[in-house]
Structure 1
Amino acid sequence: MRLTPGAGRDIDLDSVDLFDLDLYTSGDPHPIWDVMREKAPLHHQVLPDGREFWSVTRYEDVCRVLGDHREFTSERGTVPTHLGTDDVAAGVLLTSTDPPRHTEVRRPLGSKLTARAVKSWEDSIRGTVTRFLQPALDGETFDLAEKALLLPAMVTGPLLGIPAKDWEELVQLTAMVTAPSDPHFLQGSEAATLAISHHELVTYVKDWVKERRASGGEDDSLLQHLMSVRPGGEALSDEEIALDGYSILLGANVTTPHTVSGTVHALIERPEQFAKAQADPTLIPNLVEEGLRWTSAACNFMRYAVDDIEIAGGTIPARGAVVAWIGSANRDSAQFTDPHDFDITRSNAKRQVAFGYGPHFCIGAPLTRLTLRVFFEELLQRFGSIDLAGEPEHLRSYFIAGMTHLPIVAEKRLTP
């Protein structure tokens, strides 16, 4: 979807379809969200097949929905592709579980992903990023969005315990889960694509666990660590390990590539911001935060109201599905001055909610921030300029805001 909005236009909120895939592939949802925040901060939509959902678009309301599991549960599904059908893994899958179980599984994993813990990976990540960027310095067209799909696997594969020979397949499968309608990942129907990808990913983790149990091998990987987690004093079953491993693989692979490509695209469109970051590398951490806000790669998350809940001037009925639009919250002018400006000196960019909010705040956020910081340090040190070499192509998904193609041509930086 377009990250720089077009001109404002008259919008009939009664006819808006927030599940229209064309809106994100070739359209522009930001003007719609602007109007919703102002005139309909709680918006109700009924789909042609009878499914219905409520939307919140303001920053404070998005934080409330994502932050309070007593009002809004995760245990029926958390992504809009599940709308109308309760997630069969709810209550087990890490992303579809509420506290206290969610906390009991998450806490020991999170201890391995703190900012201090991942700091030891910085040199390895820098080497990976350097190798990733090198082909772009040859002067030929480099499709950043396409290549970047593999970047998170290159970084996190060793941390997860996944061998390099499997990275490409797993990246393809995780993309199928989150963008099952995109022609790059579609296999038959959308339902078939979701079924295939879910089955293959869960089976992969099951086989990984089975092999480790048979061999007796141990390492310090995150999947190995998952085998030792004991929520409530009971070890996870192989099925639970497989589902939680599936959740971790999705989180590791899905959003970072689109943050990379969307932020680079913003810098190409605004060479003065590129020059400013290059002149003052201390701005790079804030560039990362502004890039996260700007791209909001995880465009939304879904919850279900536990009871009748009053919010944003209206009521969501008990068991009603509510979609919290992160992409809108991160452009809320009540929080971010001139929200449609990309500004790497923005003073409160770190208030972005691109990682979510509350109990399900992204467990991998410290590793993602480190990876993005290193990426832009290396890019700005090595590249003198970056230009588009063709039109970007946007992902066909209302869940993940991203690109499938971003052809660029870069020139080497002549002086450090």
Structure 2
Amino acid sequence: MRLTPGPARDVDLDTLDLFDLDLYSTGDPHPIWDVMRERAPLHHQVLPDGREFWSVTRYEDVRRVLGDHREFTSERGTVPTHLGTDDAAAGVLMTSTDPPRHTEVRRPLNAKLTARAVRSWEDKIRATVRRFLQPALDGETFDLAEQALLLPALVTGPLLGIPEKDWAELVQLTAMVTAPCDPHFLVGSEAATLAISHHELLNYVRDWATTRRADGGEDDSLLHHLMSVRPGGAPLSDEEIALDGYSILLGANVTTPHTVSGTVQALVERPEQYAKAQADPTLVPGLVEEGLRWTSAACNFMRYAVDDVRIGGGTIPARGAVVAWIGSANRDASVFPDPHTFDITRDGAKRHGAFGFGPHFCIGAPLARMTLRIFFEELLDGCASIELAGEPEHLRSYFIAGMTHLPVAAQKRHTP
């Protein structure tokens, strides 16, 4: 989708289709969300097949839906691709589980992913990022969006305990889960793409767990750590490890690449912002937060109302599906003044909801922030300038806002 929106326009809220994939691959949803926040902060849509959902677009409403599991449960599915079919893994899969079980599984993993814990990975990540950027520094036309899909695996593969030979395949499978209609990842039909990717990812983690149990090996990887988690006092079964490992793989792989490419595109389009960050490296953390807000790679998440809930000036009925549009919340002018301006010195950018809110706040946020900081430190240090070398191509997905192609050409920076 376009991250820099076009001009305001009239929107017919009665015929609006938020599941129109063209709106995200070639369209411009931000002017639509602007109208929704103003005129329809709670919007109801019925799809041609009879499925229905409600949408919230204002920052405070999105935070409430994602942050309060007592009003809005995760245990029927959390992504719009599951709309109308309850998630078979609900109550087990970490992303589709409410507290207290969610907390019991997450807490021991969280201890390995705090800002202090991941700090020891900084040197390894910096070396990885330098290798990643080298082709661009050597003057090659570099398709950043295409190459960046592999970047999280380069960084987190060793942390997760996944051998390098498997990284590319797992990246492809996680992309199939989150963008099953995009022609780069589509295998037959959307349903077939989802079925294949779910099956292959679950089998991968299940086989990994079975092998580790059989050989009794010990390591410090995050997936191995799942084997010691004991929610309710009982260890996880191999099937539970497979589901939670699947959840971790998705979280690790699917958003950071699109934050990288979308933020670089914003800087290419605004060379004065690039120059400002290059002149003052202390601005890089702010650049990262503004990039997270601006791109909102996880465009939305879904919940279900437990009971009738008053919100956004209306009522979501009990068991009604509600989609919380993070991409809209992060452009809410009541929280982010002049929200469609990309400003690396923005005060309060860190209030963004790119990592979610509440119990399901992204467990990997400290690692993602550090990876993004290092990436932009190295980019700014190594590249005097960067420009487009072709047309961007946007992901065909209403769940993940991102790009499949962003060809760029960099001018190497020569320092005395």
Q: TM-score, normalised by structure 2?
A: 1.00
Q: Which residue does 1:375 correspond to in 2?
A: 375
Percent identical among aligned pairs is: 85
CA drift of 1:15 comes to 1.0
- Name the SS for the 1:322 alignment partner: strand
- Name the SS for the 1:278 alignment partner: helix
Q: Which residue does 2:6 correspond to in 1?
A: 6
Provide the rounded CA distance (Å) in 2 between the counterparts of 1:232 and 1:209: 20
Counterpart residue type for residue 307 of structure 1: D
CA drift of 1:31 comes to 0.2
Q: Which residue does 1:177 correspond to in 2?
A: 177
CA drift of 1:216 comes to 1.1
Q: Deviations over 1:26-69 (max 9, x none)?
A: 00000000000000000000000000000000000000000000
Q: Which residue does 2:263 correspond to in 1?
A: 263
CA drift of 1:415 comes to 2.1
Q: Which residue does 1:299 correspond to in 2?
A: 299
Provide the rounded CA distance (Å) in 1 between the counterparts of 2:164 and 2:190: 28
Where structure 2 has 5 or more consecutive residues not aligned to the other structure, the ranges are: none
Q: Which residue does 1:89 correspond to in 2?
A: 89
Provide the rounded CA distance (Å) in 2 between the counterparts of 1:296 and 1:345: 18
Paired residue total = 416
Where structure 1 has 5 or more consecutive residues not aligned to the other structure, the ranges are: none
Alignment of 1:12-411 (within 5 A): 12-411=12-411
Provide the rounded CA distance (Å) in 2 between the counterparts of 1:15 and 1:380: 45
- Name the SS for the 1:201 alignment partner: helix
Counterpart residue type for residue 36 of structure 1: M
Counterpart residue type for residue 287 of structure 1: L
Q: Deviations over 1:275-306 (max 9, x none)?
A: 00000000000100000000000000000000
Provide the rounded CA distance (Å) in 1 between the counterparts of 2:414 and 2:103: 50
Provide the rounded CA distance (Å) in 2 between the counterparts of 1:134 and 1:302: 39
Provide the rounded CA distance (Å) in 2 between the counterparts of 1:299 and 1:156: 22
- Name the SS for the 1:49 alignment partner: coil
CA drift of 1:137 comes to 1.1
Provide the rounded CA distance (Å) in 2 between the counterparts of 1:240 and 1:207: 12
Q: Deviations over 1:104-161 (max 9, x none)?
A: 0000000000000000000000000000000011212100000000000000000000
Which sits farther off after the overlay, 136-145 or 391-400? Answer: 136-145
- Name the SS for the 2:60 alignment partner: helix
Counterpart residue type for residue 49 of structure 2: D
Counterpart residue type for residue 346 of structure 1: R
Provide the rounded CA distance (Å) in 2 between the counterparts of 1:98 and 1:179: 25
Q: Deviations over 1:249-281 (max 9, x none)?
A: 000000000000000000000000000000000
- Name the SS for the 1:205 alignment partner: helix
CA drift of 1:215 comes to 1.2
Q: Deviations over 1:62-95 (max 9, x none)?
A: 0000000000000000000000000000000000
Provide the rounded CA distance (Å) in 2 between the counterparts of 1:378 and 1:215: 40
Q: Deviations over 1:362-382 (max 9, x none)?
A: 000000000000000000000
Aligned CA-pair RMSD: 0.5
Which 4+ stretches in 1 moved above 3 angstroms?
A: none
Provide the rounded CA distance (Å) in 2 between the counterparts of 1:310 and 1:135: 53
Counterpart residue type for residue 199 of structure 1: H
Counterpart residue type for residue 222 of structure 1: L
Provide the rounded CA distance (Å) in 1 between the counterparts of 2:139 and 2:9: 40
Counterpart residue type for residue 404 of structure 2: T
CA drift of 1:414 comes to 1.6
Q: TM-score, normalised by structure 1?
A: 1.00
